[in-house]
Amino acid sequence: MQFLVIEGNIGAGKTTLSQMIAKENDAKLVLEQFADNPFLPKFYKDQERYSFPLELSFLADRYNQIKNEVLNLDLFHPLMVADYYFAKTAIFAQNTLKEDEYHLFRQIFDIVFESIPKPDLYVYLHADTDRLLKNIESRGRDYEQDIDPTYLEKISKGYFHFFKQVTNYPVLIIDTNNIDFVKNPEDYQQIKNAIFNSDYKLGINRLIL
């Protein structure tokens, strides 16, 4: 395996797990750069007004990061771990943009997506909305505290709709509602074994831990 993607809804723990796996395996770590996005705090307060500039800025930022990091192979780190995949751009945009805005956005996305490399394994950490809200509250980012639960549910549905269309790389959906891989080493070991010690068919694969 050379390119591993770990994703999940907001608060699922994708970045934490990516960091843990990358550190243990001396892998190249690619983290989504969103903290300095000037539209994000504004979006959480007024989604209708700031959704289009936010999604366009994410598209540009993610493409530039992938072009600079993912497409440049690192001979010293044979494994690359990313806490997002470029397809996330369309998943979120579909749930935040108006129909005409999304149509325009999708035309730009499709042109760019053709050049994006496919992961060897795409891992999705699934958690119920209540669990996500608890995780979001615990990590204490001010601009996330007003997230509407229905927005998280829409994002989750968007991911699963996307997975149904994937045919050229394996997607592993891991239900994490009953585990805590941050605090419990045994839970982390289970996830790690599932990622590195199993073979998966192209398309959707499911695992409950």
* Positions marked catalytic: 83
DSSP string covering 117-176: PPPSEEEEEE--HHHHHHHHHHHT-GGGTT--HHHHHHHHHHHHHHHTT--SSEEEEEE-
| 67 CB neighbour count, 10 Å cutoff | 13
Query: Token match 């045919």: residue?
Result: 167
In whole angstroms, what is the distance from residue 156 CA to residue 159 CA? 5
CA count, 13 A, side-chain hemisphere, 55: 25
| Residues 6+ positions from 205 with CB-CB distance below 8 Å | 170, 171, 172, 173
In whole angstroms, what is the distance from residue 41 CA to residue 35 CA? 10
Q: Give the phi and the psi of residue 3 in degrees, each rounded to 5.
A: -125, 110
Terminus-to-terminus CA distance in the chain, angstroms?
A: 23
Q: Which of 118, 105, 90 is nearest to 3 (CA)?
A: 118
